[in-house]
Amino acid sequence: MLDRLYRGGTEMQALDVCRNAGRNGLDLSVASGGGALEGEFRDSGVQYHSFRRRAPLDLFLVHRLRQLIKGNHYNIVHTHQAVDALHAYLAARGTEAKCVVSYQGDFHDSRNRRVLEYLIPRVGANIACSKGMRSWLAEQGLDSSGFKVIYNGVDEKRLTYQGPDLREELDLDQDTLLFGMVAHFYPGQRKDQMTLCEAFTRVARDMPEAHLILVGRVVAGAEAKYAECLRTVTEAGLASRVHFLGQRSDLAKIVESLDIYVFSSLQEGLPIALMEAMLSHKPTILSDIEPHLEVSCNGEYALTFSTGNADDLALRMTELAHDPEKMRTLADRAYTFAKRTFSIDAHIANLQHVYASVLGEAL
């Protein structure tokens, strides 16, 4: 169950699961209020149920979900946000279905926090997408001690791209070095494009052939963040070398075109975009928050910089860009690690183990 189908990490994760459910023995349906990815979910090979939530707590929706659960004999209802989880929990009460809730890294306001405090001990299972996510939830005052940890998975087939790269679209020379980050501009302490923009103003002085690509929509409430990033690069005379591309549906093209992927963030679960970069053979530079450190393995699979420190990030960007052999080695190691750890098949297998445990079954 997904309240809305935005083009974000949680939704892409669910879409990859849908597309690979059948061949992994998972009989899956989707219930959602629609959105940008609705067509792709409808074409994913699973049954699709449409609904519209009309209030923060919509009792008519609860009734309709209960009808779906009973009419289709669903065993598990899996949700990813507090509002979805509450509706699913109420709908499943009195039926044989069990609720499972995944936590991907969103910052929960006080109302959502109260909902989760109520639901955590009552649902069948709670899943964190990383050990760092589980620790962060505990820091927010939620009892995450019983949480399962399942890393997100990515369908590598979705990352295949053949065609003209981004340089042609932007009318850049083919030897242009592209740094990039794929992340929406969110309000609150989440993504940190500002540190990346500030770092690039330092990198650009020594690397006139370098450009920066920023992909992602501006979420309501984050307009000032976006404007500050734009002002920073404009005042540095870099408006023609920093490309704000907004939301894109051709992420395979974007990631394939990048030379170095940078993920500057203040708080994460474990971003799908990072996994996509690793599975696309891209060397990555990550802020040193706990979930990123969990997968960088002391520099084995990714370089890290001090979170929020533009000078440190600029140093890492320059260091890596000037060492092609290190770029190749880092990319190869990251790909091998991601292939083993973040495959969609491994993710679905881990989900099935949790589902079986909740239902008291043996796989």
The most confident of the ranges 101-105, 112-116, 176-180 is 176-180
| pLDDT attached to residue 145 | 94
- Grade residue 363 by pLDDT with cuts at 50, 70 and 90: low
**In the prediction, which pLDDT does 106 show?**
65
Residues 146 and 179 in one domain: no
Q: Mean pLDDT of all residues in the chain?
A: 94
The structure's pTM equals 0.85
Percent of the chain with pLDDT over 70: 99
Query: Is residue 167 classed as helix, strand or coil in its secondary structure?
Result: helix
The domain tally of the chain equals 2
According to the model, what pLDDT value does residue 7 have?
Answer: 86
State the average pLDDT over residues 24-50.
95
Identify the pLDDT of residue 108.
62
User: How do strand 284-287 and strand 260-263 relate by DSSP bridges?
Assistant: parallel
Q: The tokens 């004999």 sit on which residue? A: 73
- Chain centroid to CA 311: 26
322 and 237 part of one domain = yes
Dist. CA 154–CA 346, nearest whole Å: 10
* Sign of the alpha-carbon dihedral angle for 121, 101, 278, 291: negative
What amino acid is encoded at 351 in this protein?
A: L
78-89 mean pLDDT? 94
Same domain, 51 and 199: no
Write the CB contacts of 353 (distance below 8 Å, at least 6 apart in sequence). Answer: 363
Residues 128 and 115 both lie in one domain: yes
Asked if pLDDT for residue 105 goes beyond 80, the answer is no
Say if residue 177 is in the same domain as residue 143. no
Q: Is residue 278 part of a domain?
A: yes
Q: Is 28 a member of any domain?
A: yes
Q: Are residues 91 and 165 in the same domain?
A: no
134-188, pLDDT tens digit by residue?
A: 998 998 889 999 999 999 999 999 998 888 999 999 999 999 999 999 999 999 8
Whether residue 271 has pLDDT greater than 90: no
Same domain? For 168 and 308 the reply is yes
Domain contains 255: yes
Residue 137 lies in a domain: yes
CATH of the domain at 274: 3.40.50.2000
**167 and 106 belong to one structural domain:** no
Q: Is residue 3 part of a domain?
A: no
27 and 120 within one domain: yes
In this structure, the dihedral spanned by the alpha carbons of residues 173, 175, 179 and 183, taken in order and rounded to 10 degrees, is: 50
pLDDT at 300: 93
Residue 210: which pLDDT band, with cuts at 50, 70 and 90?
very high
Give the mean pLDDT of 329-346. Answer: 94
Give the pLDDT of residue 130: 92
pLDDT at 9: 86
Are 348 and 335 found together in one domain? no
Per the domain annotation, does 1 fall within a domain? no
Residue 4 covered by a domain: no
Domain of 106, in residue numbers:
9-153+344-359
Whether residue 143 is found in the same domain as residue 199: no
Proportion of the chain in helix, strand, coil states, percent, rounded to 5: 45, 15, 35
Q: What integer pLDDT is reported at residue 60 of this predicted model?
A: 96
Same domain for 316 and 355, yes or no, is no
